[in-house]
Amino acid sequence: MKEYDILVVGAGAGTKLVTPPSLIGKRVVVFEKETPGGTCLNRGCIPSKMIIYPSELIRLREEGKRFGIEFPKPTTVPVESIFQRVNQTVKVDSDSIPLAYEKNPNIDYIPKKVWFKGSKVLTDGENEYTAKHIFIVTGTRPKIPNIQGLENTPYWTSREALSPANFPKSLLIIGAGFISLELGAAYQAYGCQVTGITRGEVLRHVDGDVKTELCKHLPFPIHTDFQFESVSYQNKKFKVSGKTKEGKFTQFEADELLVATGIKPNTDELHLENTNIQVNEEGYIQVDGTLQTGEPGVYAFGDVIGRYFFRHSANFEGEYLFEHLFGNKKDQPIVYPPIPEAIFTNPQIASVGKTEETLIKEGISYYKGINPYSSSATGMARLSHLGFVKVLVSKETEQVLGAHIIGEEASNLIHQILMGMYLNAKLDDYLGMVYIHPAISEITRNAFRKVREQKWKEGKS
């Protein structure tokens, strides 16, 4: 039995509990069965945004047409070299993680799969390990739908779509979540003919007004309410068959097929049945207010607990655990600040807090302010033809309950509201600021002015 102070399963967000505690003298062992850095570095956030940004440059040609500016069509779009550069950059970053660990005498990095043999005992099949504190940070993987014939085809998940052997002329995407919209928009800009198909609706979790605006300006066509019947692959072509919402039999065909229909937790190979750790019906690990599992001394965080599915929220949880166990917050449960999200499609989307539909369902009284990009000086300068900032403000406290943005720079614009929510700012605080004219942030100010106008109409000062 090899004993450590800390044992970490997963070298993605789990790295938050590797180097920091090692610097205060803790002996740490970290296990990773795949490439270090986790989904975000290797198969998610970072490579996808590196692929998306050049595609946005290509779209600038279309933007120029609104001003009567005709840019010549690019004679070459080096798609393959772009993907090669992205994957090489990611590989160098990923490879640097174990190299850094090797230089630290307090860290052992073991590139193997590990599972529980007992309550606080793990094995890699050869040796057994234990520690005072154990952290499970194994993340999630793509969830594959049960469609006849699909499993017998060489379909893609996001992993293959981020490092294709050859760039396809056409692509079918099953699913209409953020992965579909981000990668589909990029592929479309690079010259691939993209078609989306989904059983449900586009981005079912987002605010209704945002969804309506997005569906008017989709970066590629998406067929909703589709009843899948079968998937086949012959002569290097995928065929997806089924019925439209009108009941018409339809068959789609393309060179490649991307399946992006959700995720599932990586808990099924941990042999949690040998412990007191509990999972919910979807397989996500259950934790208490301090992120501790049912097994004392064993903690879990990140995607595997199913609370939030962002690297920034996983980082926050990891930083909390370091402070809770080894810092100055030993008796405090985790308190999440407002957690934002962004979808880097075209148009960009960002949100934080509750949607309007949630407020209605929960019976919470609110003011609503929506201001389109076009109704601002910046919008006039940019000839904005889509997008808005939407704020939902409590009638009781006049604090922001939710904010939803669709349009240019949405992922940056949301932070102004996010900071206000974190500091418990009220309507007057947002309106009392002096905004640079004519900066894009005036769109946010105008949304809050719409809230104030709604107050006045209700006879409130």
What is the torsional sign of CA 135, 137, 138, 140? positive
For residue 209, give the nearest of 368, 324, 322 by alpha carbon.
Answer: 368
| 252 plus 292 within the same structural domain | no
Residue 269: give its domain's CATH number. 3.50.50.60
Are 277 and 246 in the same domain?
Answer: no
Same domain, 433 and 366: yes
Backbone dihedral region of 88: left (phi > 0), alpha (psi from -120 to 50 degrees) or beta?
alpha
> Does the annotation list 232 as a binding residue?
no
46 annotated to a ligand binding site: no
Tens digits of residue pLDDT in 207-256: 999 999 999 999 999 999 999 999 999 999 999 999 998 999 999 999 99
Same domain, 136 and 269: yes
CA distances in angstroms from 387 to 75, 76, 207, 209, 372, listed in the order given: 31, 31, 13, 10, 6
Residue 410 annotated as part of some ligand binding site: no
339 occurs within a structural domain: no
Structural domain boundaries, residue 250: 150-261
Residue where a domain stops, chosen among 208, 226, 261: 261
Q: For residues 353 and 312, what is the distance between their CA atoms, to the nearest angstrom? A: 15
- Judge if 120 and 190 occupy the same domain: no
Is residue 175 annotated as involved in ligand binding?
yes
**Interhelix angle 442-457/410-422, nearest 10 degrees:** 50
Domains: count for the chain: 3
pLDDT along the chain (461 residues), means of 10: 97 94 97 92 92 93 91 86 94 94 96 96 97 97 96 96 95 97 97 97 96 97 97 97 94 98 96 97 97 97 96 96 88 94 97 98 98 95 96 98 97 97 98 95 97 90 66
| Residue 389 near residue 403, CB atoms below 8 Å | yes
Looking at the structure, tell me whether residues 271 and 255 fall in a common domain: no
The pLDDT score that the predictor gives to residue 430 is 97
d(CA 323, CA 339): 20
Looking at the structure, do residues 122 and 203 belong to the same domain, yes or no?
no
338 within a domain of the structure (yes/no): no
Between the CA of residue 439 and those of 21, 38, 56, 197, 446, what are the distances in Å? 43, 37, 21, 38, 12
Q: Is residue 341 part of a domain?
A: no
> 340 lies in a domain?
no
312 is catalytic: no
Sign of CA pseudo-dihedral 119, 125, 126, 131: negative
Of 205, 217, 385, 437, the active-site residue reads 437
| Residues 202 and 117 grouped into a single domain | no
Q: What is the pLDDT of residue 461?
A: 66
Residue 336 belongs to some domain of the structure: no
Query: How many C-beta atoms lie closer than 10 Å to residue 79's C-beta?
Result: 19
- Among 212, 242, 261, the domain boundary falls at 261
192 and 179 share one domain: yes
322 labelled binding-site residue: no
CATH number of the CATH domain containing 424: 3.30.390.30
Residue 424 is assigned to a structural domain of this protein: yes
**Whose structure tokens read 């991307």?**
258
Same domain? 228 vs 360: no
User: Which pTM does this prediction carry?
Assistant: 0.94
Single out the residue in 241, 261, 281 at which a domain terminates.
261
95 in a structural domain? yes
Query: Tell me, what's the pLDDT at 261?
Result: 96
The whole-chain average pLDDT of the chain stands at 95
Q: Return the residue matching tokens 């309007």.
A: 356
Quick one: 121 and 6 in the same domain?
A: yes
**Are 156 and 238 in a shared domain?**
yes
Q: Is 318 annotated as a binding residue?
A: no
Per the domain annotation, does 331 fall within a domain?
A: no
The order of strands in the sheet holding 193-197 is 222-223, 193-197, 170-174, 256-259
| CB contact at 8 A, 386 and 373 | yes
Binding residue per annotation — 177?
yes
